[in-house]
Amino acid sequence: MNYEIKQQDKFRFIEEGEGEPLVLLHGLFGALSNFMDLIEHFKKNYKVVVPMLPLFDLDIFHTSVGGLEKYVQKFIETRGYKNIHLLGNSLGGHVALVHILKHPEKIKSLILTGSSGLFENGMGDSYPKRGDYEYIKKKTEVTFYDPAKATKELVDEVFEITSNRIKVIKIIALAKSAIRNNLGEELSQIKQPTLLIWGNNDTITPPFVGREFNRLIPNSELHFVDKCGHAPMMEVPDEFNKILDGFLNKMKQPAESVA
């Protein structure tokens, strides 16, 4: 499925459908392909928006979770979105958390899946190994419960990124920034309804991380998905969309009128 990549100022993004904005933030090795099933399903009722996060385009001093959040904030301002359902996977979830803590006013709900921000198993000190295709293939497979989900196309994308020395430096900078930026003490400030969708077999942000987010974010609900790793929206899209549908439909229900 090919979507038109739109451009406004420095921002490149996909915008499909009409309705309240459902803004999707991808992770460190994320791409549009991560969200294909989600876009197709939700564009019928929402304005589904995927900004291309400038993971490799910021200067090294701003290549951080905070730098990406500032980019997202400017993007939302430029586009004039409000009543936003903000969804983030992995590093994208971390960026979403920093954003809602700094700028809660335009966010209607928060959805996190495999998010960093509390704990994550990093890629290891030796990561990323440049030029070792088999190593990159194995590291990509770890993202999923079913290694076959790490298609050749996906592995090729990651391999291309990790073959570029400047991109590798920026990946390491972002990974270190995510580890340093622990939000545990701030999560109680989040007032918006929050949905947590976690793979039971996630080895990067294991199930206990989802439970800890659930404990720390006051108005949150947690759903585990079996036979699923770090990217539920890719690995089990039907189940993911069903859980998200249920959550978003609750937002549409009018509050009970007071007699």
- The CATH number of 8-119+182-250, from 3.30.565.10, 3.40.50.1820, 2.70.98.10, 1.25.40.340, is 3.40.50.1820
Q: In sequence order, what are the residues at sequence separation of 6 or more whose Cβ sits closer than 8 angstroms to the Cβ of residue 245?
A: 41
* Domain limits, the chain: 8-119+182-250
Say whether the peptide bond before residue 207 is cis (omega within 30 degrees of 0): no
What tens digit of pLDDT does each residue of 132-166 get?
A: 899 889 988 999 999 999 999 999 988 998 889 89
* Cα four-point dihedral sign 113, 114, 117, 119: positive
Amino acid identity, residue 16?
E
What tens digit of pLDDT does each residue of 195-231 get?
A: 999 999 999 999 999 999 999 999 999 999 999 999 9
Tokens 């036979």: give the residue: 227
Among residues 139, 146, 149, 30, the alpha carbon closest in space to that of 87 is found at: 30
The enclosing H or E element of 88 equals: strand 84-89
Q: d(Cα 229, Cα 207) in Å, to the nearest integer?
A: 10
pTM: 0.93
